[in-house]
Amino acid sequence: MLELYKQQTRCLVALDSIIFGFDGEELKLLLVKRGVQTDHDTWSLMGGWLKPNESLDQAAERILFELTGVSGIFLEQLNAFGDPNRDPVERTVAVAYYALVNVKDYETKISDTHHAQWFSMHDLPELLFDHREMIKIAIERLRYKAAFHPVGFELMPEKFTIPQILNLYEAIYGSNFDKRNFSRKILSTGLLVKLKEKQKGFSKKGAFLYALDTEKYKKHSDSFMNFIPNPEGLV
């Protein structure tokens, strides 16, 4: 049995984390400058290699911290990428993770050691290896998850308006929703508590503020299927 192990070809295992961020207006991506290539205009996801004494989750968290100084982000495993030619230097299999965070929560926490920077999803720079493919799959997964579960409430302030939530989901999907249909659908979840206060300064009437019913959210957030309106709700 041991001889079979000795006969196998060794390869590296890399971890790459795709950190999406919402800044209140658009969806962004956190990238760092990498020294792997001589092209200084090439940017990278949060990537590094697995150590012998680490689990995949531990390695992903460590690498994210080393490159950005950020910790405490819940990273969800996305997929494995094993094209033999994906890394021109050494045979490497990459395991990708992804997360969605509020940009404002991490603006002052991000280290400048590796020039970590937020980029608009509409204007991404040149990316390392197959990282663009990873991002494509991650955004598809994020959109699928958002369609069935209210994943965006954690990014909202304590009090928020329906238009603010609409703005978040339009940023995730890169599309415009029918406002009435979206409002009806999100209120039908029963997760929101309408407050007597209104948001001031954006219109003459102002928009009513809502708060998340945290108890209902903890108990039932996974049960609201088809959370986002059907495709006909897109315009």
Secondary structure tally for the chain: helices H, strands E: 7, 9
pLDDT of residue 235: 40
131 and 195 fall within a common domain: no
Q: What CATH number is attached to the domain comprising 78? A: 3.90.79.10
- 211: domain CATH number? 1.10.10.10
pLDDT (tens digit, 0 to 9) for every residue of the chain, 235 residues total? 788 988 888 899 999 999 999 998 899 999 998 755 445 688 999 999 999 999 999 999 999 999 999 999 999 999 999 999 999 999 999 999 999 999 999 988 898 888 899 999 999 999 999 999 999 999 999 998 888 877 887 788 888 999 999 999 999 998 888 888 888 888 888 889 999 888 765 555 678 899 988 888 777 666 555 666 554 444 4
Q: What is the pLDDT of residue 108?
A: 86
Domain around 20: 2-147
Q: Which pLDDT belongs to residue 226?
A: 63
3-state SS class at 154: helix
Count of domains observed in the chain:
2
Distance CA 164, CA 195 (A): 15
22 and 93 assigned to the same domain? yes
Dist CA 80 CA 95 (whole Å): 4
Answer for the pair 140, 18: CB distance below 8 angstroms, yes or no.
no
- Looking at the fold, whether 166 and 120 belong to one and the same domain comes out as no
Q: How far apart are CA 41 and CA 62, in angstroms?
A: 25
pLDDT for res 234: 43
| Location of structure tokens 């508590």 | 193
Boundary residue ending a domain (100, 127, 147)? 147
Question: What pLDDT, on a 0 to 100 scale, did the predictor assign at position 6?
Answer: 85
Same domain (yes/no): 193, 117: no
* One domain for residues 79 and 158: no
Task: Let me know whether 192 and 219 are in one domain.
Answer: yes
Q: Which pTM value belongs to this model?
A: 0.88
